[in-house]
Amino acid sequence: MKVKCIIPAILAFAMCLSLISCGSGAKETTSSGGETVTVGLLHSLTGSMAISEEAVRDAEVLAINEINAAGGVNGAQIVYVEEDGASEPSTFATKAEKLIDENKVKTVFGCWTSSSRKAVKSIFEEYGNLLWYPVQYEGMESSSNIVYTGAAPNQQIVPAIEYLVNQGYTKFFLMGSDYVFPRTANEIINAQLADAGAEVVGEEYADMNQTDFSSIIAKIEASGCDVIVNTLNGTGNVSFFKQIAEKNYTAEDYMTMSFSIAEEEVTTIGADILKGHMVSWNYYETTDTAANEAFVTAYKEAYGENRVTSDPVEAAYDAVYLWKAACEVAGSFEPEDVIAAMESTEISYEAPEGTITIDGESHHCYKKVRIGVVNDGGLIDEIYATPDAVKPDPYLTSYGWAAEVQPLS
């Protein structure tokens, strides 16, 4: 009797142990012989962010495959380990730790949302590893263990507002989703417009999952604005633009300037609705460079003709090449050597958007700013571009009006 009672206990214990040991054995990635270097890809492949992040992951895989086909980095083939952040910041933190500590990756390409980046930031700092973050964001941050290959506010938001003011727009309506990027962006825009002498006639925030924009549209109509600065993210854009189109408003009635609408979102919302509206990015699929032609062809060849490239996709692709360039300068894969190389030498890469260079001081990139207009075919035509790549200034220290939006430290 006694013996029989203990059997279940032992069984349960054995189950626990087998899973524990299964976890402790770090998965060795098989290589085809020769030297390899392991990197991590950390994006949401499930959950609400998967739709955006999968395209970015695809771009990173494309770059890795291209580099491997061309002989690898410092003679080593790149092996990548994928982790799913499941659209949840805490999962990102757990997985970042797993990649760094268990898989011993030399660097990680990953994240999209600001909340996921903030959740992993201190982990990368504490382990001394390196994260490549490919999305434009709200700025006011820099870390020696993160490289931001997307735009800082002064490479997307500030020039776009400057452009609008120069075009003669005077009454601005600010609208965004209720989270950190739109809040910070609008704080910056308010300060900039006050300095430029333009007027903010309304500022509204929509819930992340909001689908009914009738009250916001009513406020827009009442405000008498001549341009809407749109920082909505995700599904909110679809609802907003559909509802404004249902009222038969076009870009001539209410011009919008969007910071989160790229080629992919245009496909979802519909080119007929978005036609004529303005956006601001550093790269469009139509950007006219030889490198971009090759990139767009390779991307469509790998993932299908109906796929489009966009700014974050391109920035993610660049990140892998920038890391390669930094490793070659450093002559090593160790994160501290790569970081040291970035800070002492100018690492640059002939990207699809033009030459981009890492600013060793802020860990952001020099990038050209391009204002575009959505065309009939669902792509975006460039209507204005800065003559040179703009120096990144995440804290906006070079702008006099920005003093009050800068963080404490």
7 binds another protein (CB under 8 A): yes
The residue from 31, 71, 122, 222 that contacts another protein (CB under 8 A) is 122
Interatomic CA distance for residues 174 and 183, integer angstroms: 10
CB 261 within 8 A of CB 356: no
Helix, strand, coil distribution of the chain in percent, nearest 5: 45, 20, 35
3 binds another protein (CB under 8 A): no
Q: Measured from the CB of residue 26, what is the shortest distance to another protein in angstroms?
A: 6
44 binds another protein (CB under 8 A): no
212 binds another protein (CB under 8 A): no
Q: Measured from the CB of residue 346, what is the shortest distance to another protein in angstroms?
A: 29
Q: Measured from the CB of residue 379, what is the shortest distance to another protein in angstroms?
A: 29
CB 39 within 8 A of CB 64: yes
Listed ranges 145-153, 181-189, 279-287, 288-296: which one lies at the site for another protein (CB under 8 A): 181-189
β-bridge partners, 390: 367
Pull the structure tokens for residue 363: 């860990």
Listed ranges 2-10, 58-66, 306-314, 374-382: which one lies at the site for another protein (CB under 8 A): 2-10
Interatomic CA distance for residues 296 and 291, integer angstroms: 9
38 binds another protein (CB under 8 A): no
23 binds another protein (CB under 8 A): yes
98 binds another protein (CB under 8 A): yes
The residue from 39, 56, 111, 119 that contacts another protein (CB under 8 A) is 119
Answer left, alpha or beta for residue 71, where phi above 0 means left and psi between -120 and 50 means alpha: left
Which whole-number Å values give the CA distances from 236 to 9, 66, 112, 205, 333, in the listed order?
52, 36, 17, 11, 41
Size of the residue set binding another protein (CB under 8 A): 60
143-179 b/e (C-beta count within 10 Å ≥ 16 → b): bebbbbbbbbbbbbbbbbbbbbbeeebeebbbbbbeb
What is the Rg, in whole angstroms, of the alpha carbon atoms belonging to the chain?
A: 23
Tell me, what DSSP letter sits at residue 367? B
Q: Whose Cβ is closer to another protein: residue 124's or residue 295's?
A: 124
Listed ranges 20-28, 242-250, 286-294, 380-388: which one lies at the site for another protein (CB under 8 A): 20-28
Cβ-Cβ contacts under 8 Å for 289 (sequence gap 6 or more): 352, 353, 354
Residues 129-158 that bind another protein (CB under 8 A): 140
Q: Measured from the CB of residue 115, what is the shortest distance to another protein in angstroms?
A: 5
Q: Measured from the CB of residue 270, what is the shortest distance to another protein in angstroms?
A: 28
The residue from 60, 84, 359, 393 that contacts another protein (CB under 8 A) is 84
User: Phi/psi of residue 348, each to 5°?
Assistant: -135, 165
Q: Whose Cβ is closer to another protein: residue 97's or residue 328's?
A: 97
89 binds another protein (CB under 8 A): yes
Q: Measured from the CB of residue 101, what is the shortest distance to another protein in angstroms?
A: 4
Interatomic CA distance for residues 99 and 85, integer angstroms: 12
Per-residue contact flags (x/-) with another protein for residues 376 to 405, judged by CB under 8 A: -----------------------------x
The residue from 38, 107, 114, 292 that contacts another protein (CB under 8 A) is 114
Nearest Cα to Cα of residue 97 among 113, 87, 86, 85: 85
222 binds another protein (CB under 8 A): no
Interatomic CA distance for residues 175 and 177, integer angstroms: 7
The residue from 36, 46, 144, 190 that contacts another protein (CB under 8 A) is 46
Q: Whose Cβ is closer to another protein: residue 114's or residue 292's?
A: 114
Residues 230-259 that bind another protein (CB under 8 A): none
70 binds another protein (CB under 8 A): no
Neighbours of 106 (CB within 10 A): 22
Pull the structure tokens for residue 45: 């492949």
Torsion over CA: 362, 366, 371, 375 (sign): negative
Pull the structure tokens for residue 304: 């299908």
Q: Measured from the CB of residue 329, what is the shortest distance to another protein in angstroms?
A: 27
Q: Which residues bind another protein (CB under 8 A)?
A: 4-9, 11-13, 15-17, 19-20, 22-27, 45-46, 81-84, 86, 88-90, 93-95, 97-98, 100-102, 114-115, 118-119, 121-123, 126-127, 140, 178-180, 183-184, 187, 207-208, 405, 407-409
